Structure 1
Amino acid sequence: MAKWGQGDPRWIVEEREDGTNVNNWHWTERDATTWSKGKLQELLVGIAVENEAGCCEISELKQVEGIIKESGVKHKGLIEIPNLSEENEVDDTEVNVSKKKGDGDILKDLMKTAGTAKVREALGDYLKALKTEFTMGMILPTKAMATQELTVKRKLIETTSQVQASSPVALGVRIPTVALHMMELFDTTVEQLYSIFTVQDLVQKFSKSSAVLELEKGGKFQMFDGNITGEYMELLTNKKIVMKWRCRNWPEEHYATVVLNFVPTLGQTELQLDCKGVPVCKEENMKFCWQKQHFEEIKGLLQLTTLRG
């Protein structure tokens, strides 16, 4: 990749405060911690090993229990995985087994051999799922483009256990995007048009669905029963609205930047829409959303208001 200011501009990636993509490519970050905890629990809970002397089973992520068959005495211990990375072979992953004071060496040896093998097999399944399930629908970079390093520490003890991933886990994902520019004239004042976008009751009327607005910089919003969500980045009363904006079916954690400018004209208001960072595959849906579900519905609401007035 060329350095900024040099080389082929198609391969330049510039960091922008507003999150705007340069030449329609960028990296996004996704936190894998919650997903990892669920997946590791799914793969690890229930792992059991047994021999003639006793058996050990991971019954929950809080503990590992072992029972010596002859005496029936239960023992508890600790399994710790200090470093797990998709860059290394799972068979090389370090698995440390220890136990609490007292008897139970037989069980410790059982977990260090057969137990370790099963734990490593489960961790291999986890890393495969990380590259497929967690990133489904995304385009992952090659190792030449980015290095992904995931550290997972597992502690299974009597009262508490920790499954930790580096937080946030940054997964480089390149999403091809486009920019949209649309203009529409409305037979109303800038004050009234601005209110239709910023008053919750009016938003619910033109969208014919529930909406939640936190009308302040950094405030969140939901429209169309949660199908559209985002955050207000800038609010200039009766002049401009800037939003982080996404549809529910977009790639996870990906937002476009939507700018609405309210421009007074002779007896009308021109609404100028500029949108950057729309996934290429969602371009037509985005145009339809604004033209049909916003512009035309708002004009219908304005006509009803005029008739009632």
Structure 2
Amino acid sequence: MAIQKMLLNIFCDVFASDRRLRRRFVATSALQQELRMTEVIRQDVTFEATPDRVFEALVDGPTFTRMTGAPAEIDGSAGGSFSCFGGAITGRNLEVVKGRRLVQGWRAGPWPEGIYSLVRFELEGQGDGTKLTLEHSAFPPGQGDHLGAGWEANYWAPMRKMLADHAA
């Protein structure tokens, strides 16, 4: 729970400069408190590529588009916004440590307005490859199975294919 509070504070700091977004976030914070889930998706996946290549696939719009075949616009900086899969997934980058960590305020289009989950990607070099640990939390009730399967189908499988094609 302490990590969620810390990330929510970072999230608030990112939006502090935008009064409209800050008001919307504060107005929905009570609802966000109701959505604190005990359920956390945790996935460990490995890729035959460097941490920098894996990181690039997550934060570079053209690379993400090439990987998934779906439109993506990504500002890879801290505080930068992203829109993936033609706007089906949107959010902001809360913490960006190149090649090591990416933390996002992440939302799916059909969720109630102002509701963001927390997604954390940790990257660790392992020989010639990379171990990526995903933690996805604070999502609406009943979404865990769908989201968990979506990470494999929409992120990991296409990323493995793209990185393998690039290595060949």
Q: Deviations over 1:8-57 (max 9, x none)?
A: xxxx9xx924239xxxxxxxxxxxxxxxxxxxxxxxxxxxxxxxxxxxxx
Larger Rg: 1
User: Which of 1, 7, 32 is 1:18 aligned to?
Assistant: 7
Who is 1:175 aligned against?
35
Distance 1:295 1:170 in 2: 35
Q: Structure 2 matches for 1:280-291, cutoff 5 A?
A: 280-291=141-152
Who is 1:192 aligned against?
53
Distance 2:72 2:139 in 1: 22
Shift of 1:176: 5.6
User: Which of 79, 89, 95 is 1:228 aligned to?
Assistant: 89
Q: Structure 2 matches for 1:1-309, cutoff 5 A?
A: 16-19=5-8, 170=27, 172-173=30-31, 174-175=34-35, 177=37, 178-307=39-168
Q: What secondary structure, in the 3-state scheme, does the structure 1 residue paired with 2:166 have? A: helix
The alignment's TM-score, normalised by the length of structure 2, stands at 0.80
CA RMSD, aligned part only? 2.2
Q: Deviations over 1:155-209 (max 9, x none)?
A: xxxxxxxxxxxx7694643236221111001011112111111221110011211
Distance 2:49 2:115 in 1: 34
Structure with the higher helix share, 1 or 2: 2
Q: Which amino acid aligns with 1:259?
A: R
Bigger relative CO (Cα 8 Å, ≥ 6 apart): 2
Shift of 1:276: 1.6
Distance 1:262 1:187 in 2: 13
Structure 2 residue runs without a partner (length 5+): 10-22
Q: Which amino acid aligns with 1:245?
A: W
Q: What secondary structure, in the 3-state scheme, does the structure 2 residue paired with 1:19 have? A: helix
Aligned sequence identity (%):
19
* 8 Å CA contact retained: 2:60, 2:75: no
* 8 Å CA contact retained: 1:189, 1:269: yes
Distance 1:199 1:176 in 2: 30
* 8 Å CA contact retained: 1:176, 1:280: no
Shift of 1:284: 1.1
Structure 1's consecutive aligned runs of 4 or more residues displaced over 6 angstroms after TM superposition are none
Q: What secondary structure, in the 3-state scheme, does the structure 1 residue paired with 2:41 have? A: strand
Shift of 1:249: 1.4
Structure 1 residue runs without a partner (length 5+): 1-11, 21-166
Distance 2:110 2:36 in 1: 16
Distance 2:161 2:152 in 1: 12
* 8 Å CA contact retained: 2:117, 2:136: yes
Shift of 1:237: 0.9
* 8 Å CA contact retained: 2:107, 2:115: yes
Distance 1:273 1:170 in 2: 29
* 8 Å CA contact retained: 1:233, 1:243: yes
Cα 1:281/1:207, change in 2 over 3 Å:
same
